[in-house]
Every structure is written in structure tokens, then in C-alpha cells.
Structure 1
Amino acid sequence: MFRNLSYNSIKPQKLVFGLSVLLAATTYNNKANAQNSYELNSGWKCAPIKSVNVDGAKLSEPSYNTNSWMPATVPGTVLTTLLNNKKVPDPFYGMNNERIPDIYKTGADYYTYWFVKEFKEAPATNGNQVYLNFRGINYSCDVYLNGHKLNKTIQKGMFLRFTYNITPYLSKSGNNKLAVIVHPPDVLGNANGGQGGDGTIARNVGLQYTAGWDWIQPVRDRNTGIWDKVTIQKTGAVRLKDVHVITNVPGVRMPDGAQKPAIIKLETEVSNPTSAPVSGNLVYEIAGTSISKSVTVKANSTLPVKLADYTLQNPKLWWPNGYGPQNMYDVKVKFVTGNKTVSDQEIVHVGVREITTKWNAHTGSREVAVNGQKIFIKGGNWIISDAMLRLSDMRYDAEVRFHRDMNLNLIRVWGGAMTERPEFYDACDKYGMLVFQDFWGSGDCNGRWVDPMKKDDQWTRRKYPDDHNLFLRSAEDQIKMVRNHASLAMWCGGNEITPPEDLLIALKEDILPRLDNTRWFIDYSNSEEMSDNRLGGNGDGPYGIQPLNVFWNFKTYPFNSEVGSVGVSDYEALKRFMPTENMVAPEYNESTRKSKVDSVWDYHKYIGYDTSINKYGKAKNAEDFTRKAQLVNYDQYRGLAEGFTSHMWDWYTGFIIWKTQNPWTAMRGQMYDYYLDPNACLYGLRNGSEALHVMYNPVSGMISLANNTFKPHRSMMLVVKAYDMNGKVKEITQVFCDIVATSTKNVMSVKQVLDEMAAKEGAFLSLQLLDTDKNVLSENLYWVADSKGEYSGLQKMKTDELATTARFVKPGQVEVTLTNKQNCVVSFFNRVSLVDATTKDRVLPAFYDNNYVSILPGEQRKVIIDYSATTKTNLAVDVDGWNGNKGKIISIAK
């Protein structure tokens, strides 16, 4: 295959230390009983359908030899397997994606593959049962085991879990062979450059982005494959199905102190596939207490069972990030037969919390409350963890942790992708991220707008997908899969458009009331149910680079589901996917308002910075451009967060950034890149989204406070200083102040004194909020432009070499200390990186409690770095500052 490709001319993707291990890691199904369930995640083989001349029954016979077949990646896609076998170049590097045949041109058979797997499992005895579970196949399949076809009709649906009772078909020898033929989506979609290509990809119940979008190029196989877990599960005669736990937390709660009781509700289905009835007890345990019910399950039947409500005394509650701890309970559910044998059991991780919403008449938008307390939503839009579905619990944990580190409290899962996996929700439970989960649809593909790139007209597209019954069955299944997670807060009909009317009615009036009636459902992502029409209609945006005054002065939608900006990473990050010859800085023409952009930058969806880079001096080259882009990134996202926060509960009840991550090597809308390397966007957003925050309005010159916590803060000292470009300080004021809970407060204006000081070359404004013990509660440093709106002083700052030390605090943690001398200039915008001491490559992922830090004259800052403790110990720290310490490598003391 692919003999037309010249691989010697293709530069391989530069793997970053630590990432290959992370991507290869397999996830563990923490919902299953460990000793009775295991994954089939290695030893698979595959071959394209055209090279196989026998049927599945023959293929799955143990005697049929498939040793010469290609090793397959399962879970994974066909394209992932081809990449791992070096049959295609890395589509994330340069223009390599253009060198891979697209399924629309090749036809579906080109990416239709047989997958086989041999495994050992002895026949079940004494009424025990063995099940084969598929958690995700894209798009349809037939399944064979030991010469037997398991499905009567073709199994179809990317978002459906399939389960087969394989007890009758297990080999007496214990040596079994599984064969699965996987077909691509029914409709392949023409990747013609439109959003979702020609739109027809949405005729399937599946991923829409695979035909290309404004942040990704097409995925050539449309993610065909056994893309999610395959497990073998062993039970007794009775099996548990779709356990459902609901928690009620009445009243208004605080995160600390004794709690009034909470109510725990549990129901499940119990299935008995045997020819005799089975009696026993359905039991669940929580916090040391057992609740049980006697049950008899008739032969060949499934029985829904609801247990008595349990009153949990003094519960440890789950809270969103920034408002309280993320306490979790293990709820152990089991069916115990009359002879005291555990037939089946599950452990469900439960966060005790209650989510409600109401209309805020003042803002004209929906307001979200958790445990009775209103939450100001600070969110990020999420596409998918990896465009080629190389999913892992380690990567999920890292990405969601980044969102926690940005001081966000919500992630919206965009409707052109998928229902996220339980491992994603595990991470959101852990880090306190509420989740806004879209169903599968988008305004682009599903007909909201006239679009000349689309094959069908709006009337036709409005009826997508083709199979409405499959959509509804998939919705039911995916709801059951994730509904026990504390983090799941909202269901949404689709991205910027509702599903067709019959699907919407079924979701609202039947499926969700029946399966998950405790969460907010909104018809579509920017619905009037989120925001009213004070601006002439509901909506989202603006997008792209914005002057900072827009965030403070322009009133956008009061619960904005998408508002965002740029996100180019630094030079080190670009080198991972961009050829050297394409490292050419974009040039913006102010007269034509257009940019001259290199072809690879354009292919990877660069979005323009317009005049913002030139304010720091015209970029000399790509490295200089990306360095200056980080200043813009930080300012943009700090300004966005501060602007919205400054008007919380007055103009706004929430905002969700478009977007916080990329599942491909795109160059826009990202706080960290595909390789999990953060850029300055992350730290600007982290600063501006602090729970208790001091901030400066660049338009009015007002210094104000924001308190996103449930408690007032009193007797705080506000310290305001300004520094010129030579490090000379002007102490403007220090004053005691306070602020009530969940509010903002203006303190004073420094506009006149700062304008005068910054007029010639610009200046720095330092804000600190201290408690009565002089501990820093919040601090902020702004760089202020000169009277012409330029950063002329930054362009000629004196060099300032920091004194820098680093030490190992414990395995997996390093502390870096940065010290600036007295009577010196500000040491500005220092990027700290944990690196391999030999190669100088960054260790990824690594988590910094702050970065892009500036150190005032005579002051000291510490940066804590967390990383995987299994990473090799040949580590060092790189410090790269705006006006010093460029590429300085610091050894780490033991």
C-alpha cells in the first residue's frame, strides 16, 4: 500500500520525551470488577478486505493462519494502525496529510479492514457467563468467534456499545479466535474545504470534524476502526446492567463545616440469560452502610430494580473547581445469590452534589448552581483529546488538569465530535470540571446557514442524520454510560442548532426524563435558554484577536458559549510539526488588513494576530514572532477572563472560551498544543480567572477586585506600584479593602498617574493583594503601552540576568527559585521549562503552578513543576526571559 509515497523525503514527527509513553498507555475500566474483566488490547492483527478471500466464520477458526497479517492497534483506527506500521507518514507533521489517500476518493473498501485476535478463556461452568463487550466501533461491523457469527444483522453505530454473550461459543481448549470486519461510515463526506466538508458526513451518527473544519484538516479514514475498548467480562448467572446513582443535596450548602443529610438513590437492571430463575439480594454499600433488596430474576429475562432511598449523614460534598473539594464515594453494587456467591458487582465512583439552574432576570441568562450556591461559569470548549482517537486515561488526566490549572470550572464537549469517554469524566470528577455535553450535530453541517460548500440544501441537511432511530438508540446508550459522573452538568441538543424536531422531542420528553432527569437540557449551544435577545438575538463570539478594551466595554451575550482568540505556541513547540524551511513569520499588511502566511502555517489553520505583534516591534523571524505572540496570548486571555469577570452577575452569568485545546497540530484557539506543551494563553487565563483576583481595567484605569468564592474577604491590603523601563519604582498607594462573597468591587483609578508614567516608553503596573500576615492572596503585573499604543520600552529593555536555582522537592516535583537583584530592571516574562538535560527537549506533560513570570527588582519568585515520577532523572530547567536568561540551563540539586 501507498507505494507512491517517497518516505525518504518525509521528516518523521519529532517525539517529545514522555509523550510516546502517554499516548501508548491503555485505560482501565474502573467501573468493572477487576478480577472478572480484562481488556483485549494487544496482539491484534489486521488486513484490508481486498486481500482476504474467506469469510468471517473461516477467519475466526483457530486453524486459519493470520500470522502474516499486519499488527493492529486496538483500541485504534485503521489510520493509526497504518501509521504505527510506517505505511503512511505522520499526518500531524507539515503537509504529510496531503500524502495520504482520502477515503472519499479511494472508496470505502480502501479503509475497510478485518481485525483478528486470539485469546485464552476457558469455557464457563456452573451457570457462569462470559461476555464480549465493544465500547466503540466506527462505523459498522460483523463479529465472529470460533467460526460462529455473533450478530444476526450488521451492527451499526459509532456511539453504541455492543455486548455479546459468548458463553456457548467458547472453545473447549480455552484457545479462542475473534474476527471483526469494520466498515467505514455509510456516507464518507467530500472533504472539500468546508466546515465538515460538503456536510454529508453528518448523515451518519458519528464524528463530523473528520471531513475537515476551520481548525483541522480531514482525517483520511474518517476514523474507521475498533476505536474504543474491547473487554471480556465474566459473571455468575445474573449480570448487572446500567447502574444509576442519583444524589440529592437539598438547601444551600457551604463547602466546609458539618453538613445536613443528602439522599442517595440507586437503581439498576439485573439480567439472567439462563434457563432457570435466580434469587438473591441486590446490595449496595456506601460509607460503610449496606442497602439491600431481595430479588428473583426469571429465566431469560431482565428486571429493573430500584432500591430504597438512603439518607447519608454529614456527607462530604463534591464542588466545582475553585469553590470547594472534589470529594468522591465508592459505591459498591453487587448481586449475591442465595448461596452467598457474588454473581456480579460494580464499583461506581459518586460525587454527592446537586446541580440546578434558574433564569437570572437581571443578566437575561441562565444561572447555574451547585449545592444551592450560584457558580459563575468560566469554561473552555473541548473538541476531542486526539483527532485519530488515540485516547488514554493519562492524556485525559493531563488535559483536564490543565483546565483546572487555568482556574476554569467547566468544559463544553462540542457537538461535532462525540460523547466523551468515561475516563474523561473520571478526570473531570477529579479536578472539579462541570461538563456541558453536546449531542451530535452542528449548525454548519446540519443546515442552519446557507453554505455553497455543502452538497445538499438546508431543508435536506436539517433532516440529518439519515437514521433517526440509530441516533435515539445511541443517545440512550451514551447517557447510560456517563450519567453517574458528578461532573456531568448539562446536556445540549447540538452545536448552534437543534436536532430535527422528532429527535429533540424524544430527548426532551422521553429519553432524558426517563434516564437522566436531574440535569439541565438545552436545545442547542447558543439557545435563548442560555441568553436572551438583548443584543438582537442569541449567539456567540466574537472570535479572533481583540483589542483589550473590547473585553471590558463591549457587552456580548450574557452566557456566551463560544468566545475566543488566537493561540500560536512558541518556537520550540512549532519545531515538533513544522519543517525548518517553513519557519517563516507571517507578515501583516496594515493597509490591506491581510497577512502573508507560509503554506504550512496556513495548512495548520493559523489565525492572524493582525497589528498586535508589530506593537512589540516587527518580527525578525519565526522565533521572534512566536516569542512576541506569547505576550499577546497572555494579554488576550487574561483580558478576556477579567473583562467577563468584571461584569459577573451584572452583564454575565458565564463564558466559555472557543477553544482551549486542539486534537491536531493546529495553530489557533489553544492553551496548550497537541503535545501537551502549554503556551502563555494558559497562564494569562490562569491569572485572570483566579477565584480571588485583583485586576486593572486598561480603559478606565480602575483597579478592582473579584471574589468568586462563597465567603467574604476582609482586611486585605492592596499594594499598587508602577515601574518604569529602568526599574525605577513609584509607590502609588497601599490601602486596606474588603469584598463580599461572589461579587466584584471597584477600589480606585490609577489612570492619570499611570498614563503620565507610561507616556514615553510604557510602564509596568504591579498589583498585590495581601492578608494581614502579608501573605500574597493575588498579584498581577501589567505592561502598559506608551502614548502611541506601542510597547517601545519593551523593545529596548536592559538585560537582567536572574539568579536561578532548582531543586528536587520529591519524586515528580521540582522547585525553581528566580531572584532579581536590587536596583535592577524588571526581569520580564520568563518561560520556565523542565527539560531533558542531554537533548534539551521539554519533558511533556509537565505542570507549572505559574509560568511566563516576571520578577520585580529585589524580589524572588518560586515556580513548582509537577511531572511524572517515572520520567528519567536526567533533568534540568531551562529559563528563557524577555530581557535575559535566554536558553539558560539550570541543573537541579538533589
Structure 2
Amino acid sequence: MKNKACRLLFVLLFVPFLLRAQSETELNSGWRCSKAEEVKATGSQISTSGYDLNNWMPATVPGTVLTTLVNNHKMPDPFFGMNSRQIPDIYDKGNAYYTYWFVKDLNYKKPAAGRAVFLNLRGVNYNCEIYINGQKLKASACDGMFLRQSHNITSYLRADGNNRLAILVHPAPVAGKPNGGQGGDGTIARNVGMQYTAGWDWIQPIADRNTGIWDKVTIQETGAVRINEPHVVTLVPGVRLPGEKQDAAIIKTTAELQNTSLKPIQGMLKYCINGQVITKAVTLAANSTTEVALPALTVNNPKLWWPNGYGEQYLYPSDFEFIIGGKAVSDKRNVQVGIRQIDTKWNELTHSRQIAVNGQKIFIKGGNWIISDAMLRFTDARYDAEVRYHRDMNLNLIRIWGGAMIERPEFYAACDKYGMLVFQDFWMSGDANGRWTDPAKKDDQWTRRKYPDDHSLWLESAADQIKMVRNHPSLAIWCGGNEIAPPDDILTQLRDVLMPKLDGTRWFIDYSNSSQMSYNTEGGNGDGPYGIQDINTFWQHKTYPFNSEVGSVGVGDYESLLRFIPAANLKVPTFDGKKETVDSVWDYHKYIGYQDFLKPYGEPENARDFAMKAQLVNYDQYRALMEGFSAHMWEWYTGSIIWKTQNPWTALRGQMYDYYLDANACLYGLRSGSEPLHIAYNPVDGNITTINNGFRNANNLMLVIKTYDMAGKDSLLSQAFISIGASSYQRIQSVKRAVDALRKKDGVFLNLQLLNENKQVQSTNFYWLPNTDGEYSGLKEMKRARLNVSAKQTAAGKVEVTISNAANAPVAFFNRLALISTTTKQRVLPAFASDNYLSIMPGETRKVTIDYPQGVKDKLQLQLYGWNVTEQITDIN
């Protein structure tokens, strides 16, 4: 209500000027392009409306050259099969092959006197020349993949509004040889750009190295004074609890004011949040940019922003305005503000950094993120879906890996919304920037250690990107690089000058696995392991106490494989005890193996059977990983970050969902193991362990421990009231002797539940345990279960599924649910299920909700299949 009052006050005072406030329009359609070698005209000629563009291709902007070529069917989809081998690589063809003109006719009239129009480019790779209406905007090219550009084009616009914009885009000067190394031969790091584009152990090279106008292009109109880089800092002193009345918070604000006119201007900078307004009168020199700090503002009883699992992610709308002469709004900027404070301290017991939000320590459960799409095809909807998946996995942090980029504001907005803290790397990697000797690299370590070639451009880009994302409450950690710090001159400037000046509120770490972050007294600092492990290892082997990269396998299910592997290549990998042999397409898509871990379930008969059994291992691996870390919180660990939770292309490793946003069992295993309140079984000593990530004690909980045999007969092992302290774990009791006796011959199912005083389930965890020989002999012989399934539409984009198992039936084991189109029989994606790969006990009824995009028009059905459940297709009522 207060914020509404603030906006209403503004409307009453300044109605005549509302439509003249700052406006920004995206230029994302109507572009055409052509290879520069095939164009004989100059930029001045091309950018005049009389130049004929009829033979030019429609261009995708924002997008890369390769995206445009694929969209025009000039190149095959590089994410399918081994198609990318058919696409000429820039290293072999030379930069001219991917140097392109991009042209757009722009209907925009020259504004009235006292107003200015800006052309904004948020990302061009790698440099460009810009022409408008026959004139070149700058004498020199604009370098740098990450450096934002803003050009005052007021004087270039035509009075009749018929304008033409032409941009010549050149690739990065050093393409790098894609020789199979991490970052290819390493020379890709000589640029200030993305290193993965020359190839990595999870992706094939991107042929054009993502050359193009890859990020948003906008036209922005303002008055004579423009607001640039508004900055909001929130201070939340003390220790807070969600849901309680809060002591006051402090908000500090600054903004850069750009006077575009040739005379001094007097005016007022105004900031409005939560119904409160602060102002400052300023005089701006002609043709100047001045940073202005507003008085500090106190917000009483603020609604705080908390990470996922700990409280609400409240966001306050707020506005900066500059008003000239007491009446005219020259410019306006909106900033969503999450009031929170992030602090860190060293934990002497774990020997690692510990993160606190609003005074409360947070046990970090994170995922490593590369980029949303390897060809930079970003959308708000995809960002929202991917970050939501991380929220649904009960994670609270995403690390942005240093071989990619500073993520886009739309990504950060999704993290603000879903409560994901962000650990943001800058553009360095130990592989390309010289941490190790590497025969795949062209240059020696001493040379690579000095990359990139242009240090000043790197620092200018860093300063610009810090300003771009620093207002987001989700941004928690800045990191100099992946597994290596920047060169000393860059590091010193970044750490000691840019960070204090431009941010100063976040922890800065020099590199991702630095001893500043985590130090294992038995083995130094580092990260990993990355491959499949015996699940006992996660419980009994102590790794790095704040592990920035630790992970396992991640092959998707059969439907996922069908999307990018040709039918002829859907061959089951084989393992001879030393080496895993795989089909060439699987190898091309960077498959990492399951070794002997599928054999206890029986040798896979075909690719479908392989994928199903892989999901059992996926679920077990990631549940155990996070349980093992959480069950040693504050004793061994302050956090862990999964390597990795997503893939920006069709890879066969390290992913909780595939490139097409289809979840596999990794996601649901991790979701289980990461529950805020969780009950777990330690497979080493048989201890039942409760884990409470919350800030409050969990009291009067009923612990129920049951087993089920392969026929569905249950045995109650224990039932007792327990309590568990805030932000802690507790070992309750060992059931090893009883469980070992029951699983001896055929294995056994173990079902754990925590109930509250109203008998509502607070945590449930279901394990399938092998016999004493490590074989799932009982699973192989299980009788079929028949489920009663119904589904109904409860709201737009929401389906509720009810699943029942008969009282005298066996456990209906490991069931996969999916929404499918009735016409295509293809899955509707993304789909967010409240549970999946779930097992239904005899006599049990479970409800699952599935959310899907509301724009889907097809009539839908529910598909269900499981280990011992025949596929069922159910109409949705």
C-alpha cells in the first residue's frame, strides 16, 4: 500500500510528463544479414535506405551468426548427433568466414529539442563498426565481448523517422584451435570472451565462437539528463529470523547522472521505495557525467529477502527519477530491491568459509552452471525454468563457471525470485590460463598466465559487468576465476580498486577452489571428485570442506536420448572392468561411464533398459552426495556445489535435466537429499540421521522406520518421538542389524518418515537396498504392480495426479510421470513435478502436482511407467 501511495503521489504531481519519462524498446525483429565478403558496398552505403537488402538473409538478433545460419537452414543443428562436424570451424576457415553485416530499418523520429535517443548494445562478440543513415558512429571499432555500449544517436536520426542501422561484426581476433583440450589449444583465452567455445570436456567447439550481436539491442529515449548505473545497497545489521517483526534496515543509493546537453542543468534526483521518498538537488555541468549519492534511508520492519528454504524472497519495487525544473521527468529507472545482508567468516573447525544471510549461517547446497544455451539463445522463460529447477532441487546457490560469462540480468532476476544465491566467476580458467602444464596447449604456462592480451579491456569489461548486476540481492560472491586467479595486475585492480568502489558488499575470492574458500588439512585445497562413486564414500570420506565442484554421472532417460542421438547409435555402453566402450555419438557427446554400477540391476538389454537403470543410479548418487555433506554440516563442511546441474547443449554427463529442460532422476534424488528438513539412512553404519537446515528447532516429530520386502509385506522397525536443533544434524539410532538381516537374500525396501503432531509428513525417504552380495536380486524378480491413476486440471498450467496402490500388492517401484501431447505423444517441457521417480507402498495413495507452461494449447495426457509397472496413459479431466 505504501509503494502504491508513492506511485500515486508521483502521478498526481507529474501527470503531464509521465509519457516523457525514460522508455526503452528492444530491437529484436526485422534484422537482415549477409557475409561481409559477399558485400561490395561500404558501411555508409549499406546504412542508407536506398541500398537493396532483398537478397540478404533474415537475421536472429539477439543471436549469433551460427544461430542465424541454423535458423535459415544453411547449417544443420549442431546439437544433434555429430552434425557439428559438418559446420566449418572458424579456426580452419579464418575470421572472414564469420564476419557479417547486420542491418535493421528503424522507424524512429528525431525527438524534440531537449531530449536524447540512445542506441544500447548489451553484448557484441567481438568488435563492431556501427553506421546509421550513412554515418559512422565512432571512428574506432568497439572491442570486447562483454562490454556494453551506449551511443547517443539523436543527431543521426532523420526527421521523418526513416532510419537504417548497419552493424559490421568481427569475430574475436584469436579463434583458438579446437584440438580437444579444455579450451582447445588455450589461445581462445587471449580474448576477453567465453573460453568454452573452443571445446571442453563437456562440449564440442562452437564453430563461430559465438560471433554476433548476441545480447539485447535497445533504443532508449530520455530528457536532457539520463540516469546511468543506479546502485542500491541494503544493510541489515544483527541476527534476524524470518516471519518476525524486524529491526530497521538501511538503504544507501547512488546513481550516475549524464547531462547530454551543452548547458548546465539544475534538477532533483529522487528515489522512492516502500512509500518513502528521498531527494537531492544537484547542478550538472554541461556534457558531463556525475555520480550522486542520496541520503541514507531507513526502512522500519522491512520484509527481508532470504535464500531458498529459509524464508520469503520479498522484492520491493523502487524508482530512481531525475526531475528538471521541479516538473519534467527527464529519466526514470526501476530497480527491484531485496533487503538483505550477506556476510562471511572463517569456520575454524571445518577450515572453510561460512556464509551468513541476515545474520544467519546458511549451509550451502549449490549447483554449478555453465550458461543457459551454448549458442546464446537466451529467453526469460528458459532462465525462469532453469532457475526454478534449482529451487525445486532444494538448492540455495548457483555458481557461474569462469569459462563462460557474467550472467544476464534476466538470470539474476530469476535467482532473486526463487531465492538462489549466486557465486559469480570472472573470465579465467586454470585450463586455458596456465595453472597446469598441458600438452594440448599452444603456449607455455608463463605465456598463458599473462592471458588475455588486453588487460585494460578485461578490467573495463569487469567494471561494466559489475555495475550491470550489482543490484540483485541474489548476487552473493564474486570470484576472480575458475581454479586460477587473474594475472597479478588484473587481480590487484579488481580486488583492491574496482570491487570496493563499485560494490564492496560481497565476498570476493581470488579463484574458485582457493584456500581462502576451503582447505582440507589432509590434502590442501581443491575440488572434485567428479565421477561415479560408491554411495558409502559420500558418508565416510571427507573431501574439501567447501567444495566448489563435486559430482557424478547424469545420463538422461530414454526420451532424452532420442532427441539428439540417431536411432542407429542408440547402443548400450559396455564395461570390461577397466574400460567403458561406447558408440561414437555417445562419445562425441562427452559420455562419462557408469562402469559396473548398473550390473547389480542386471545387464541392460537395450538403450531403453540402460536409461531406466541409469536413473536408479542417478537418483542414488545425488541423494547420497547431498546427504553425506549435510550429515556433516559445520563439522566437516560449510557447503558443496554440484559439478554440474545443467548442460547448455546435448551432453551425456553432469546434469539434473537435459538441454531440452526434461528432468531426469538426478534432479529428484538431489531434491530428496537436499530437503530443508530431512531424514536419511547412513549405508555405512546403518544410522538414521535427521538434518535440519532451518533456523528454528524442529520439535515433537514422529520418526517411523519401516521395511518392505519384494512381495510388499511391511515390518515396523521403530516409531518414536524426536526433536532436532536448528541448523544441525542428529544421529538417532542404528538399524543396521535389522536391515542387514532383512536384505540378506533379496534386498529390501527401507521407508523413512518424519511426521508432525498433526500426522502430516514432513520428510519421507525411500531406499532400495541390495542383498548382502550387493545384487538387486529381488528387484529382478518383482511381481507387477497395477496402479489406479487419475489426473485432473486444477488450474491453467497445473495438473493434479492421484496414484493408488492396492493393499495386497507389491511396492510399485520407481515410477516416472510425464505430461504428453495427445497428438504428438511428445512430452510437454518444462514440467515441474512435486515428485517423480517415486515408489508407491501397498495400500498407499499419493498426490503429485505438475506445473507446465500455460501457453501450451495441446490437449494433454499423463504418462506413467515404472520398474514393475506397465506404461499407462491417462486422460486428464
TM-score when normalising by structure 1: 0.96
**What CA distance in whole angstroms lies between the structure 1 residues aligned with 2:529 and 2:479?**
21
1:659 matched to 2:639: no
1:330 matched to 2:314: no
Counterpart pick for 2:601 among 608, 611, 616: 616
> Which residue of the partner structure matches residue 61 of structure 1?
48
1:186-225 aligned within 5 A: 186-225=173-212
> Which residue of the partner structure matches residue 67 of structure 2?
80
1:80-229 aligned within 5 A: 80-229=67-216
Kindly state the Cα deviation for residue 658 of structure 1 after the two structures are TM-superposed: 0.2
Q: Is the 8 A contact 2:21 2:330 kept in 1?
A: no
Kindly state the Cα deviation for residue 824 of structure 1 after the two structures are TM-superposed: 1.1
> Which residue of the partner structure matches residue 892 of structure 1?
876
**What CA distance in whole angstroms lies between the structure 1 residues aligned with 2:463 and 2:522?**
36
Mark the runs of 5 or more structure 1 residues left unpaired by the alignment: 1-31
> Which residue of the partner structure matches residue 517 of structure 2?
530
Counterpart pick for 1:645 among 630, 645, 650: 630
> Which residue of the partner structure matches residue 708 of structure 1?
693
Whichever residue aligns with residue 644 of structure 2, its letter is: K
Q: Is the 8 A contact 2:22 2:223 kept in 1?
A: no
Q: Is the 8 A contact 2:22 2:333 kept in 1?
A: no
> Which residue of the partner structure matches residue 600 of structure 1?
585
Whichever residue aligns with residue 251 of structure 1, its letter is: G
Whichever residue aligns with residue 701 of structure 2, its letter is: M
Kindly state the Cα deviation for residue 885 of structure 1 after the two structures are TM-superposed: 2.9
Kindly state the Cα deviation for residue 535 of structure 1 after the two structures are TM-superposed: 2.4
Kindly state the Cα deviation for residue 276 of structure 1 after the two structures are TM-superposed: 1.3
Kindly state the Cα deviation for residue 357 of structure 1 after the two structures are TM-superposed: 0.1
Q: Is the 8 A contact 1:493 1:522 kept in 2?
A: yes
Partner secondary structure for residue 536 of structure 2: helix
Q: CA offsets per residue over residues 634-685 of structure 1, 9 Å max, x none? A: 0000000000000000000000000000000000000000000000000000
Q: Is the 8 A contact 2:680 2:752 kept in 1?
A: yes
Q: Is the 8 A contact 2:422 2:477 kept in 1?
A: yes
Q: Is the 8 A contact 1:696 1:702 kept in 2?
A: yes
Counterpart pick for 1:879 among 843, 854, 864: 864
Kindly state the Cα deviation for residue 839 of structure 1 after the two structures are TM-superposed: 1.7
> Which residue of the partner structure matches residue 840 of structure 2?
855
**What CA distance in whole angstroms lies between the structure 2 residues aligned with 1:151 and 1:141?**
10
> Which residue of the partner structure matches residue 400 of structure 1?
387
Partner secondary structure for residue 156 of structure 1: coil
1:731 matched to 2:716: yes
- 1:339 and 1:262, CA in 2 relative to 1: closer, same or farther beyond 3 A? closer
**What CA distance in whole angstroms lies between the structure 1 residues aligned with 2:519 and 2:382?**
37
**What CA distance in whole angstroms lies between the structure 2 residues aligned with 1:458 and 1:604?**
29
Q: Is the 8 A contact 1:115 1:179 kept in 2?
A: yes
Counterpart pick for 2:741 among 750, 756, 760: 756
1:421-570 aligned within 5 A: 421-570=408-557
Q: Is the 8 A contact 1:535 1:557 kept in 2?
A: no
**What CA distance in whole angstroms lies between the structure 2 residues aligned with 1:772 and 1:173?**
73
Kindly state the Cα deviation for residue 119 of structure 1 after the two structures are TM-superposed: 0.8
Whichever residue aligns with residue 647 of structure 1, its letter is: H
Q: CA offsets per residue over residues 528-559 of structure 1, 9 Å max, x none? A: 01112412210000111000011000000000
> Which residue of the partner structure matches residue 629 of structure 1?
614
Whichever residue aligns with residue 717 of structure 1, its letter is: M
> Which residue of the partner structure matches residue 579 of structure 1?
566
> Which residue of the partner structure matches residue 10 of structure 2?
none
1:11-30 aligned within 5 A: none
> Which residue of the partner structure matches residue 687 of structure 1?
672
Q: CA offsets per residue over residues 40-69 of structure 1, 9 Å max, x none? A: 100000000111111111110111111220
Whichever residue aligns with residue 662 of structure 1, its letter is: N
Q: CA offsets per residue over residues 829-857 of structure 1, 9 Å max, x none? A: 00000110122100001111110010000
Partner secondary structure for residue 475 of structure 1: helix
Kindly state the Cα deviation for residue 33 of structure 1 after the two structures are TM-superposed: 9.9
Kindly state the Cα deviation for residue 296 of structure 1 after the two structures are TM-superposed: 1.2
Partner secondary structure for residue 507 of structure 1: helix
Q: Is the 8 A contact 1:33 1:347 kept in 2?
A: no
Kindly state the Cα deviation for residue 525 of structure 1 after the two structures are TM-superposed: 0.1
Partner secondary structure for residue 460 of structure 2: helix
Identical aligned residues as a percent: 62
Q: CA offsets per residue over residues 128-158 of structure 1, 9 Å max, x none? A: 0000000000001110000110012110000
**What CA distance in whole angstroms lies between the structure 1 residues aligned with 2:139 and 2:234?**
39
Q: Is the 8 A contact 2:21 2:332 kept in 1?
A: no
> Which residue of the partner structure matches residue 660 of structure 2?
675
**What CA distance in whole angstroms lies between the structure 1 residues aligned with 2:401 and 2:616?**
28
**What CA distance in whole angstroms lies between the structure 2 residues aligned with 1:122 and 1:216?**
46
Q: CA offsets per residue over residues 20-47 of structure 1, 9 Å max, x none? A: xxxxxxxxxxxx9997110110000000
1:217-296 aligned within 5 A: 217-296=204-283
Kindly state the Cα deviation for residue 303 of structure 1 after the two structures are TM-superposed: 1.2
> Which residue of the partner structure matches residue 343 of structure 1?
330
**What CA distance in whole angstroms lies between the structure 2 residues aligned with 1:777 and 1:50?**
65
Kindly state the Cα deviation for residue 617 of structure 1 after the two structures are TM-superposed: 0.2
Whichever residue aligns with residue 891 of structure 1, its letter is: D
- 1:658 and 1:34, CA in 2 relative to 1: closer, same or farther beyond 3 A? farther
Q: Is the 8 A contact 2:102 2:167 kept in 1?
A: yes
Partner secondary structure for residue 253 of structure 2: strand
Whichever residue aligns with residue 711 of structure 1, its letter is: R
Q: Is the 8 A contact 1:646 1:706 kept in 2?
A: yes
Whichever residue aligns with residue 824 of structure 2, its letter is: T
Q: CA offsets per residue over residues 271-290 of structure 1, 9 Å max, x none? A: 11211111111001000111
Kindly state the Cα deviation for residue 206 of structure 1 after the two structures are TM-superposed: 0.3
Q: Is the 8 A contact 1:33 1:346 kept in 2?
A: no
Whichever residue aligns with residue 816 of structure 2, its letter is: R
Q: Is the 8 A contact 1:571 1:623 kept in 2?
A: yes
Partner secondary structure for residue 155 of structure 2: helix
**What CA distance in whole angstroms lies between the structure 1 residues aligned with 2:633 and 2:276?**
42
Q: Is the 8 A contact 2:701 2:722 kept in 1?
A: yes
Whichever residue aligns with residue 635 of structure 1, its letter is: D
- 1:748 and 1:470, CA in 2 relative to 1: closer, same or farther beyond 3 A? same
**What CA distance in whole angstroms lies between the structure 2 residues aligned with 1:792 and 1:295?**
79
Q: Is the 8 A contact 2:539 2:628 kept in 1?
A: yes
Q: 4+ runs of 1 displaced by more than 6 Å? A: 32-35
**What CA distance in whole angstroms lies between the structure 2 residues aligned with 1:66 and 1:808?**
49
Partner secondary structure for residue 508 of structure 1: helix
Whichever residue aligns with residue 717 of structure 2, its letter is: I
Whichever residue aligns with residue 820 of structure 1, its letter is: N
1:16-55 aligned within 5 A: 36-55=23-42
Kindly state the Cα deviation for residue 873 of structure 1 after the two structures are TM-superposed: 4.3
**What CA distance in whole angstroms lies between the structure 2 residues aligned with 1:885 and 1:353?**
50
Q: CA offsets per residue over residues 746-781 of structure 1, 9 Å max, x none? A: 111110110010010100000000001100000000
Partner secondary structure for residue 382 of structure 2: helix
Q: Is the 8 A contact 2:368 2:645 kept in 1?
A: yes
Kindly state the Cα deviation for residue 795 of structure 1 after the two structures are TM-superposed: 1.1
Partner secondary structure for residue 870 of structure 2: strand
**What CA distance in whole angstroms lies between the structure 1 residues aligned with 2:581 and 2:518?**
38
> Which residue of the partner structure matches residue 697 of structure 1?
682
> Which residue of the partner structure matches residue 779 of structure 1?
764
Q: Is the 8 A contact 2:746 2:777 kept in 1?
A: yes
**What CA distance in whole angstroms lies between the structure 1 residues aligned with 2:721 and 2:112?**
75
- 1:34 and 1:52, CA in 2 relative to 1: closer, same or farther beyond 3 A? farther
Whichever residue aligns with residue 69 of structure 2, its letter is: L
**What CA distance in whole angstroms lies between the structure 2 residues aligned with 1:536 and 1:624?**
40
Aligned residues: 859
Q: CA offsets per residue over residues 95-123 of structure 1, 9 Å max, x none? A: 10011000000000000000000011111
